[in-house]
Amino acid sequence: MGLPAYRAGQVFRWLHRGAGSFAEMSDLPKSLRDLLEEKYRLSALTAMRRQESADGTVKTLWRLWDGNAVESVVMRYHYGNTVCISSQVGCRQGCVFCASSGLGLVRDLTAGEMLEEVLYSGLESGAKITGVVLMGIGEPLENYENVMRFLRLVNAEDGLNIGMRHISLSTCGLVPQIGRLAEEDLQLTLSVSLHAPDDETRKKLMPIARRYDLAALMEACRAYYERTGRRISFEYAPIRGVNDSPEQMTLLAEHMRRVHGHVNLIPLNRVPGSQLEPGNARELARRLQQLGCNATVRRRLGADIDAACGQLRRKEAT
Ligand code: SAH
């Protein structure tokens, strides 16, 4: 608008204080506030429902300006509070074990909407947010440009100033975008949803495996590690009789050796309509460790309010 740069800084800071309208931005001249009101939409998210788990985890359903809705989850750890945010309204990946796939993809979230998930999660819960995981609804690397823009905004010094080392991004394994991400020089943690060490099993669980086989995925992961020096964490939800055999653990450990990866076992959460039975995550972690593979079991938070991995769903905003 041809205004001095400090005006943008003023608006930026007001947005971070949770301003719901330009009218509230009292250090801007009235004429400018009116002009902004006329030209732009302040699309603050509205909390439609808030559920709190026995373990302190809080899930919020947010209404977006167009009537769509997404969920985010605040998890409390002894070292700080982390918010798990959604990156799309719905998801088109169709993983059979995940509730987020149910209704397909409606649209991408904008960078601002993702930023607001973080900002308002902090303002609403009164908890200082110190970490962000892009592990809610949606495939973040499919919404690549908006997610990159979001990362730089959430990291901004005069904004939320959340360090890249406190941000994790999880992907179902979009090979070209993993290559692109490696070039961004970000200190974030990349997680890859693996869930099977052989193509046959992975194809049954995750449609994306039909597009990119394990050889291509593992090569992209190896290159990512070489380029960034940052170890990738591989998510693996044990499903009894599907991906938890001793042979599969041996194969998994081999993949991990090659890519210097770490396995994060996620106890399988129940989702409506799925017959899959959880395998034994602790036992598999021990087995992997015996095979010389670094493995941990993810803490299960918020399962009583359907806020755990794979349980977030697109809801109709009414
Ligand atoms: N689309 C991205 C981001 C989602 S992150 C991705 O696929 O990585 C959510 C994580 O929870 C993913 O690793 C996903 O595979 C896993 N997940 C999905 N459904 C699950 C379930 N029922 N139990 C445990 N983990 C699940």
Do residues 212 and 218 touch, judged by C-beta distance below 8 A?
no
307 with 52: CB under 8 angstroms?
A: no
Residue 163 carries which DSSP code? -
For residue range 32-55, list pLDDT tens digits in order: 999 999 999 887 799 999 999 999
Ligand 1, residue 267: give the atom nearest the CA. 24
Residue 318 scores a pLDDT above 60: no
Nearest CA to ligand 1 atom 18: 310
Active site residue 221: no
Tokens of 182: 């490696």
Question: Ligand 1: does its nearest atom lie under 6 Å from the Cβ of 139?
Answer: yes
> For ligand 1, is residue 170 a contact (CB within 6 Å)?
yes
More confident residue, 78 or 258: 258
Pairing of β 69-77 and β 80-84: antiparallel
Shortest-distance atom of ligand 1 to CA 276: 22
Q: Is the pLDDT assigned to residue 268 strictly greater than 90?
A: yes
Does the beta carbon of 244 sit less than 6 angstroms from any atom of ligand 1?
no
Residue 77 is predicted with a pLDDT of 87
Please state which of the ranges 65-74, 94-103, 178-187, 207-216 shows the lowest mean pLDDT: 94-103
Ligand 1 midpoint to CA 173 (Å):
12
Q: Which residue has the tokens 């110190």?
A: 130
Name the residue at shortest CA distance from atom 5 of ligand 1: 135
The more confidently predicted of residues 79 and 130 is 130
- List, in sequence order, every beta strand (DSSP E) within the chain: 46-52, 58-63, 69-77, 80-84, 88-90, 105-108, 129-134, 167-171, 189-193, 233-236, 262-265, 295-297
Query: In the prediction, which pLDDT does 305 show?
Result: 92
For 24, the token pair is: 């509230």
Architecture of domain 44-317: Alpha-Beta Barrel (3.20)
Is-contact 17 159, C-beta < 8 A?
Answer: no
CATH 3.20.20.70 placement within the chain:
44-317
For ligand 1, atom 8, the nearest C-alpha belongs to 171
Contacts of 199 (CB under 8 A, 6+ apart): 209, 213, 214
End-to-end CA gap in the chain:
37
State both tokens at 163: 């360090």
DSSP 208-252: HHHHS-HHHHHHHHHHHHHHH--PPEEEE--BTTTT--HHHHHHH
pLDDT of 317 reads 46
Instruction: Name the β-bridge partners of 264.
Output: 235, 296
**Atom nearest to 99 CA in ligand 1:** 19
Q: What is the pLDDT of residue 42?
A: 83
Q: For residue 264, which of 295, 299, 289 has the smallest C-alpha distance?
A: 295
Q: Is residue 70 packed enough to be buried (19+ CB in 10 Å), middle (13-18) or exposed (0-12)?
A: buried
pTM for this entry? 0.95
